[in-house]
Structures are given as C-alpha cells and as structure tokens.
Amino acid sequence: MVFDPTHYIATGQQFQLQAKTWDDLNMFLHKTGFKLVIGLNVMLRDGTRWNPSNAKLLLKYSSDKGYPFAGIELGNEPNLFCQHWNTTVSDVQLGRDYKELKQVVQRNPYKSSLILGPDIAGYKDKFINNFLSNGGVSVLDVLTIHHYYFNGQTAKLEDFSKSSIMDKLISELHTVAGIVRNHHGLVAWLGETSSGYGGGTPGIGDRYVAGNLWLDKLGASAKYGLKGVLRQGFFGGHYSLLDSNSDPNPDYWLTLLYRRLVGNKVFDIPSSSDNIRLYAHCTKLNNVYNYEPGSITVYALNLNTAPVILTISDLHGRSADAFWLTPEGGDLKSQKVRLNGKTLELVNNQIPQMTPRHLGNRQMTVPGNTFGFIVIPDANIAACQSQGHGTIIG
C-alpha cells in the first residue's frame, strides 16, 4: 500500500491509501481513544534497500494534521514474503532497513514514538538474532512477534480447550523472555495474535469457547514478562471482538473485564492440573469497582467438564468477589456470554452494569468448561499498594 494524498501516484500493483480514508481513520481513533501503531511499506525498495520516500510523505502529512502515533513498524511478517509475494527481504537487510527507519523518524515529530519489529510470523530464532545483530537491537524499543495456535480453517472445537495446544505458546514466550533479558532496555509484545490464522475458525473463533485460548494467552504473556498483546482483530474475520452488526462477541466482554480488573504486577500461582489454568495479578489501581490497593485478582480456566474447588492457601478464609463468565444455554459455541448468570449485551448502545457476585469467605467453586475472575479485596498484599505502567492489551 502507498499513501496517495493527491491521487497522482503511479502505483502499479500497489493499493492506494487516500488522504480522506486516512483522515477518517484518525477521526475514528480520536473519538474512541484508540492508540495507533502504523506499519510502513517495506516493499517499496531501491534495489535491495528500503525506499523511505512514501513513508516520509505519510509522516509529513500526519504531522501537519497533528495525528499521534503510539508506534511505528516496518513491514508485516517479513519471513512470509516469499510465500505471499514471491519476494524476500532478508533478516540482515531488514535490520539495516530499520536503521534507515530510525533516521527518518528522528527527523520528524514522531521521534518519541516507539519503534517496533520485526513483526515476524511465529518465533524464528535465526531470523530474530540476525535481525538484531545487524542493526535491529540499536533501533528497537519493542520486539514483536505474531502468534496463532493453529490454522483457523482446519481447527476443531476441541482444539480451543486443549491444554497441550495452550502449552505450545509457553516455549515461545520462554525463548522471547531470554532474548529480552540479553538486550537491556528491550521489551517484547505479541504484535498480532488470536486463536487461528487465516481469518479464524468459522462458527467457533468468535464464540464463547475461544475465550479459553485468549485468557490463557493473556495470563501466560504477562507471566513471562511480555509488555503488550495486540489482538487480531477488532472487526472482521471469524475471531473479531465485534460481530457484523458491531455488537460485542464473547471475547469483547472478557477483554473488558481483564482491562478493568487486572493490574500489572504478576504472581506465580501453582495449579494441581494442566486443565486448571491459574494466573494472579495485583488488582488494577483506580478500578471502576473501587477495590482498594492491596487487592489481588485471580483468573482461572477450568478445562474439565466437572466443577472444581479452588483453594488459595495464603488467602484462605478471606472474602472474595467473582466475575464468572459462562456460555448462554451451556453451548460452548454460543455467541452470547453470561456474567454470573446474566446475559451481557449492550443497553441503548451502552455497556451494562457488570457487577460481581459476592462470595464472602465461602469456598470458590469453578464450574466446568468455564473461566472468570476472582477478586480478593482484603488480601492486603504489600506489593499491590502501588503499581507502575502495565501491560498493553489492544
């Protein structure tokens, strides 16, 4: 794609991004409060090198309009160029292209925007290391990889509830965490992620059961130190947060609760079974529920069909609030989700009240094939009295 504010650029096979479309997008972002990470076209080249002229045109136009960018990246899934475009940009050359990008950004008002990359599909050790050692490490603020569990077009319902599939992500996160530790100042994000690549799984990827993979991915990413998780996608495909009528799909409500409840400090919480997935954080400060600093939020997935009793030894006997999400009608492929038994849906295009169930100090029972959040308001955890910048979930 090339930016064409005048309609006079001879683009050949390239798609054109016209000024009005760009203006409309930025107006939408302004109204919603979304932050934008832009991906510049790395396929515009002079021989083997990236040609930044069109990128400069876009940055100049955007700067003159006052459009903010949270981040800037160059290209998308470069390790798949040969498969999709019958061309290649090597890991070594991409590192050099990123050095050119840094110089371009430093000469305009976006020099404070994060530089992200290389945005490769899956973790590829050789590609990452060659990219970093040939300029990437001197340029990047954020190391980004894409992650999908499987081919969305061939996935089955049971794939969305298998701990063995969830565990495949763990090894990648562990490796990424090691890369970040070896490069001071670098952080890592999942720069694009969902359940299945190829547009998602029809009739499943945007239904209740897909929340298993999404919530576990959020928990595992935080546990292994990633600082951002960017969800594919907001609208469109079979894995979006909104349906074709712009009404929320189940993962929308799950994401909203996560954003409201989960803070940025992470605790290690053991589980007695691979089918009981547990994660714990400080509760988000200044939350809409007025939970005090020192509170802790546990989120849990029960992949078993039978309910289980959840016991957290250090917090035994303390009162708790539950935000439990279940599928309407008990159907894992339901496009409607219930919070503590009440179906969630917009009320006059507004978010409804999403109130917890007060458990008191009773035992916490996790229903089969469900997931949700448990807040212990009076946990009085010293580490949760103050928190810094947290994980970006987008």
Supply the residues annotated as catalytic. 77, 192
How crowded is the C-beta side of 282, counted as CA atoms within 13 Å?
22
H or E element, residue 267:
strand 262-267
Between helices 19-32 and 53-65, what is the axis angle to 10°? 50
**Secondary structure of 26-51 as H, E, C letters:** HHHHHHHCCCCEEEECCCCEECCEEC
- Quote the tokens at residue 333: 């492929």
Find the angle CA(93)-CA(95)-CA(97) to the nearest 5 degrees. Answer: 70
Q: Please, which residues have CB within 8 angstroms of residue 288's CB and are 6 or more apart in sequence?
A: 260
Place of tokens 């992470």: 266
Residues 354, 254: Cα–Cα separation, whole Å: 11
Which of 127, 96, 332, 44 lies closest to 213, judged by CA?
Answer: 332
Report d(CA 155, CA 333) in Å as an integer: 14
Residues 6+ apart with CB under 8 A from 24: none
- CA-nearest of 377, 209, 191, 381 to 305 is 209
Structure tokens belonging to residue 14:
């390239």
Structure-token pair, residue 60: 């100049």
Q: Count Cβ atoms within 10 A of the Cβ of residue 10 and give its class: 0-12 exposed, 13-18 middle, 19 or more buried.
A: exposed
Q: Which residues contact 225 (CB under 8 A, 6 or more apart)?
A: 177, 180, 188
* Whether the Cβ atoms of residue 394 and residue 230 lie closer than 8 Å to each other: yes
Which structure tokens are listed for 194?
């969902």
